[in-house]
Structure 1
Amino acid sequence: MYKNKIMFLSIVLTFSLLTACGTSNNTAADDNHTAGHVATQNDSNAAEHSGHATTKQTESHLQASFSFDTNQTKANEETTLTIQINDHDGQPVNNFELNHEKLLHLIMVNEDLSYFNHIHPEFVGDGKFTINTTFPVGGEYKLFADFIPSGGSSTTLSERIQVEGKEKIPVAITADKKLVTEVDGKEITLSLSGTKPNEEVTLTFNIVDANSKHGIDNLEQYLGAVGHVVILSADAEQYIHVHPLDEKSTGPIAEFATSFPTSGTYKLWGQFQQDGEVFTVPFVVDVK
């Protein structure tokens, strides 16, 4: 089960063009264009994407490995994670472009998607990014490294890992009956313009004060935009990262345009910032 070994990935690259990356768990938090991207993940693969409204598959020439500084990664113990990015010849990739203020966005989720973490490893050279992190419980996790190599397109590489320790009982991932939730004193309502696969969908977040119900209009720029949305299918095989239609908006409305590649259940996390604090808003929807 991937116990802390450097795992080089064989990559399948999906070009997906969609209109469309704080630290958090399930109840907290991580271009003047609206392009998002979707990656079909089969434990080890990549996605590159740009433009609009066409899809093309091709073989990637990038590889990634995820490794830890200990023989066993244990729950609630800090560990150093290293992400190594190499080209098809096994040579380190050393040139990356800023992608919403960061060189690499790392998304980490557990098996039932109840844990979500969006953090930013530091580039240390020789193709390596490192960060100290912890995992709350034992079990299986999936890691997504989201970056842009210089001269290339947005790329997502992923791997599943196993963390030692007591595991939680997985909870079934089911669609929310009402797309309304409260986080950090804020009430957030989500509406979707449609729920069919392969059709453009607008995600609209309405953010108000939970007590007064007054709209919150002082949202701050977070990673260069009013917000970011990460979407995963229930099996974590489909990864979508969406940017807002109006990046300079300050609320209470934040809109995002995307498309769901297949029917099924998806969990999404909207991330926003107010008064210097990032808050993450989770929802689960059915697409059919």
Structure 2
Amino acid sequence: MKRRFLTLVVFSLIISVFLAACSKDDSMDHGDMDHNSNKKQPVTSHEGMNHGDMTSTPQKDNTKVEFSFNEKPESGKQIPLNIQVNNKNGQPIKDFEVEHEKLMHLIVVSKDLSYFDHIHPEYKGSGLFTINSNFPSGGEYKLFADFVPKGAEKMVKTYDVTVAGNKVRTTPLTEEKELTKVVDGKEVTLKFDHLMTEMDLTMTFTIKDANTKQPIINLQPYLGAVGHVVAISGDTETYLHVHPIDEKATGPDAKFMTSFPEGGLYKIWGQFQQNGKVITVPFTINVPK
């Protein structure tokens, strides 16, 4: 009897271990992990005209993106950058949606966020985008490739690159208490209706003539809208590309709706156009945690 009892106990333990192993969640596909992507899911392109679709829920990502330079990137040299967009099986994705007049928006920032550039690689076909890089100094940079495969969700892929050449002194990111700046003769003020994490908010840029203080009411469309806003967290892990609520506005106010998924420091760049010239206005804010 004792031997039979022990046999039954051992058999029960084997069955329990087997059932526990089978019950584990096997939904994660490590083959889909893209090590060039953000560690945190980026919140991207909050379209002002469709607030109901605003979400930070991760979307199914079927893309693989490879960033490569024709030679080692060096400051002051225009070296071709290649961005190859494939599906998860390694086949080129050939068709992309036009978003705000471009197939891809490429945001380039230094790791301390003191440098910012918003450029648009040329599409060569078969998933290949190219552009000549032009880094102003040596050091660490982060690239954000923002695109929409045809019939799919928006994707943002990131890439860290170290650029050779003379480095400039890094600038620690600090909150700006006064959110009014003068850039190229324009006085730009940024205001929020409220500033909290994980809550929809409206940010308003008000643009005046810096000399006369008269409101500017003849802003021109920039990439099909009154303006564009990019916000990146201080650790460069969270990225937001925000489009205006009223794309056809002409000033002096340009309103944008978004939400910040986490608290902390963010650098915000607003871009606007008047008389054929684009201005970029940076602000650093602290979102309460």
TM-score range, shorter chain: 0.7 to 0.9
Unaligned runs of 5+ in 2: 1-33
Per-residue displacement from partner, 1:120-148 (whole Å, max 9, x unpaired)?
A: 00100121000112100001100000010
Q: Structure 2: how far apart are the matches of 1:153 and 1:9?
A: 19
1:259 aligns with 2:259: yes
Query: TM-score, normalised on structure 1?
Result: 0.84
Return the alpha-carbon distance in structure 2 between the equivalents of residues 259 and 88 of structure 1.
30
Name the residue aligned to 1:283. 283
1:36-88, Cα deviation, whole Å (9 max, x unpaired): xxxxxxxxxxxxxxx52554335522111111111x21101111111010100
Q: Is the 8 A contact 1:34 1:243 kept in 2?
A: no
Conserved in 2, the CA contact under 8 Å of 1:11 and 1:63?
no
Superposition pairs for residues 12-161 of structure 1, below 5 Å? 14=41, 19-20=46-47, 33-34=49-50, 52-70=53-71, 72-161=72-161
How far apart are the structure 1 equivalents of 2:59 and 2:99? 23
1:223 aligns with 2:223: yes
SS across alignment from 1:262: coil
Partner AA of 1:64 in structure 2: V
Q: Partners of 2:37 and 2:184 in 1: how far apart?
A: 39
Deviation at 1:201, TM superposition (A): 1.1
Q: 1:98 to 1:166 in 2, by over 3 A?
A: same
- Higher relative CO (CA 8 A, sep ≥ 6), structure 1 or 2? 1
Letter aligned with residue 68 of structure 2: S
Give the Å deviation of 1:111: 1.2
| Deviation per residue, 1:87-118 (Å, 9 max, x gap) | 00011111001010000000000011010000
CA distance in 2, matches of 1:157, 1:163: 19
Q: Write the distance in 1 (CA, Å) between the matches of 2:229 and 2:56.
A: 21
Deviation, 1:119, is 0.4
Greater fraction of residues in strand: 1
Q: Which runs of 5+ in 1 are unaligned?
A: 1-7, 21-31, 36-50
Which structure's residues are more often helix, by fraction?
2
Q: Which has the larger radius of gyration?
A: 2
Match of 1:4 in 2: none
Identity %: 47
Distance change (3 Å), C-alpha of 1:19 and 1:74: closer
Structure 1 residue 194: Cα displacement: 1.4
Residue of structure 1 in register with 2:30 after alignment: none
User: Is 2:175 aligned against 1:175?
Assistant: yes
Paired residue type of 1:244: P
Q: Structure 1 residues 107 and 74, CA, compared in 2 at 3 Å: closer, same or farther?
A: same
Alignment coverage as a number of residue pairs: 254
| Residue in structure 2 matched with residue 211 of structure 1 by the alignment | 211
Distance 1:10 1:19 in 2: 22
Give the root-mean-square deviation of aligned CA atoms. Answer: 1.9
CA contact (8 A) 1:208 1:214 kept: yes
Task: Kindly report structure 1 stretches of 4+ aligned residues shifted beyond 6 Å.
Answer: none
Is the 2:43–2:239 Cα contact (8 Å) retained in structure 1?
no
Q: Partners of 2:119 and 2:167 in 1: how far apart?
A: 23
The residue identity in structure 1 corresponding to 2:49 is H
